[in-house]
A and B are shown apart, each in its own frame.
Chain A
Amino acid sequence: MQRGIDSFFKRI
């Protein structure tokens, strides 16, 4: 399954 990159980094 492919995870999204935004699930690893916090939005700033």
Chain B
Amino acid sequence: MFEARLGQATILKKILDAIKDLLNEATFDCSDSGIQLQAMDNSHVSLVSLTLRSDGFDKFRCDRNLSMGMNLGSMAKILKCANNEDNVTMKAQDNADTVTIMFESANQEKVSDYEMKLMNLDQEHLGIPETDFSCVVRMPAMEFARICRDLAQFSESVVICCTKEGVKFSASGDVGTANIKLAQTGSVDKEEEAVIIEMQEPVTLTFACRYLNAFTKATPLSTQVQLSMCADVPLVVEYAIKDLGHIRYYLAPKIED
């Protein structure tokens, strides 16, 4: 028996919004420690890794490890039927071929349930090694989204250059060149507005704008985003999900032809 309950459907809606542009379907691996999802996008350029800890749920029970392959378009249709403040419960029997998603209004006067067919997805799992990153940048998630959106107008690629002074995002194309520099913030009143750079050595890497923009669909989940970079390894873009877990996106760098 698997049962997981969250106080607010809005969290699950935001999580789905953060992955459904990259993935058509995905396997949710459930165990007593929580729910994990790891999947590459269709082009195998990026990897999404979602971790939801069992202690972050209002109720969590998972008697046997369970892999639930879900069509994310179908799940989005179901979640559209929930009000943001509804409770949401996911339930499945062991070895079941369906999952039930139930919404309850705050006053318990409206209860709706949706049964969704599960899929058998033959998904590969990739082992992600620990990396000592050269640069780790923490910055406001909305600022990162804004930069990715703005620079995508100028080029398919964005160059991220990080030094101890700051981080520079550049794009160059037919229109010309765009550069956006962010300095590390001195003192800020609000932690969520800070730009913090931890640098071992400077790094310059090039990434495809369309993937960065897809990652920023996670912006509503978190006030801050963390970018971890190292030469010749994938960029890690991480959004914390408060009291519940995190979503990490890995993006392979572009290399010169």
CB within 8 Å of B: which residues of A? 1-12
Contacts and interface: CB of A to CB of B under 8 A. Distances in A.
B126 A3 contact: no
Nearest to B156: A2
Nearest to A9: B126
B16 to A, nearest CB: 21
B234 A8 contact: yes
Nearest to B47: A5
B254 A10 contact: no
Given A9-B126, A10-B127, A3 B46 contact: no
A1 B254 CA distance: 5
B125 A1 contact: no
Nearest to B157: A2
Contact of A9 (B127, B208, B251): B127
B15 interface: no
Interface residues of B, number: 23
B34 interface: no
B252 A8 contact: yes
A6 B41 CA distance: 11
Contacts of A3: 45, 252-255
Given A11-B126, A12-B125, A6 B254 contact: no
A5 B45 contact: yes
Contacts of A8: 233-234, 250, 252
Contact of A5 (B129, B234, B256): B234
Contacts of B255: 1, 3
B44 interface: yes
B128 interface: yes
A11 B125 contact: yes
Contacts of B47: 5, 9
Given A5-B251, A8-B234, 19 more contacts: A1-B254, A1-B255, A1-B256, A2-B252, A3-B252, A4-B43, A5-B45, A5-B252, A6-B40, A6-B44, A9-B47, A9-B128, A9-B129, A9-B250, A10-B127, A11-B126, A12-B125, A12-B126, A12-B127
